[in-house]
Amino acid sequence: MIRLFRVFIPTSVVALLVSEVILTYTCYVVATFLMMEAAPEVFLLDDNGWLRIALVVACLMLGIYFHDLYTQFRIRSRVLLLQQVIVVVGVTFLSQALLVYLRLDELILPTWVMIVGSALTLILLPAWRIFFSTVVMKAMGSERVLFLGTSSVSQEVVQYLMEHPETGLTALGYVDNLEAGATHVVDGVGHPVHMLLDGHHHV
């Protein structure tokens, strides 16, 4: 957990956010070097290209946030994930159109840089999200939590932790007050496993 402004944020959320900002920014920088006929360095440094890209990336991150993709890491459908990213990119295009309407030309990305950068984002962002949720999350590990009591509240919290691995907490189980010297441990699919304190267990 990372504490920011008195709010505890899971390390995995911060890691995903930072990595996706870097990834999407890189996509548009690469698009700049691919599509700009003039020196791309001049566009990035002298024409506020870095700021224009930053605005696009900020719009993308806000779209991802409002789709709750930073509160739900578990990918239930890759097709749904792709659809969500497409919607986010579409809204980003609309934000660029708004800047055109407002005649804020100094904040607008060139058309082909926007198109190519967005295409790279559509390919790489879902792929990275899948890799992060299946590989990086496991490598980061998590803290194990044992609950005291088997109340409905405890069971709801256990269920929530199982559905939200981004919290960085794994529900080991909960102590059963109904039977002295025993605990109920939740397995990987949410079924309670009866475990005695001497280490022997059975379902």
pLDDT one-digit tens code per residue, 115-154: 999 999 999 999 998 888 787 666 665 666 666 666 677 6
Over residues 47-63, the pLDDT tens digits come to 889 999 999 999 999 99
Q: Are residues 66 and 150 in the same domain?
A: no
Among 89, 106, 139, the domain boundary falls at 139
The dihedral through the CA atoms of 63, 67, 73, 78 has a sign that is: negative
Q: Are residues 120 and 163 in the same domain?
A: no
Q: Are residues 25 and 79 in the same domain?
A: yes
Longest dimension (CA), the chain: 76
Residue 114's CB is within 10 A of a number of other CB atoms, namely 21
Q: Are residues 26 and 91 in the same domain?
A: yes
Instruction: Report d(CA 157, CA 155) in Å as an integer.
Output: 5
Q: Which amino acid is at 8?
A: F
Q: Are residues 161 and 197 in the same domain?
A: yes
- Determine if the pTM surpasses 0.75: no
Average pLDDT (65-92) is: 81
Instruction: Report d(CA 35, CA 113) in Å as an integer.
Output: 6
The predicted pLDDT at position 59 comes to 94
Q: What is the mean pLDDT of the chain?
A: 77
Q: Are residues 13 and 67 in the same domain?
A: yes
Residue 13 burial (C-beta neighbours within 10 Å; 0-12, 13-18, 19+): middle
Instruction: Name the residue range of residue 7's domain.
Output: 2-139
What does the block give as tokens for 151? 């109340």
Among 88, 123, 139, the domain boundary falls at 139
- Please state the domain count of the chain: 2
Q: Are residues 165 and 115 in the same domain?
A: no
Give every CB contact of residue 197 below 8 A, 6+ residues apart in sequence. Answer: 181, 182, 183
The answer to whether 142 and 169 have CB atoms below 8 angstroms apart is: yes
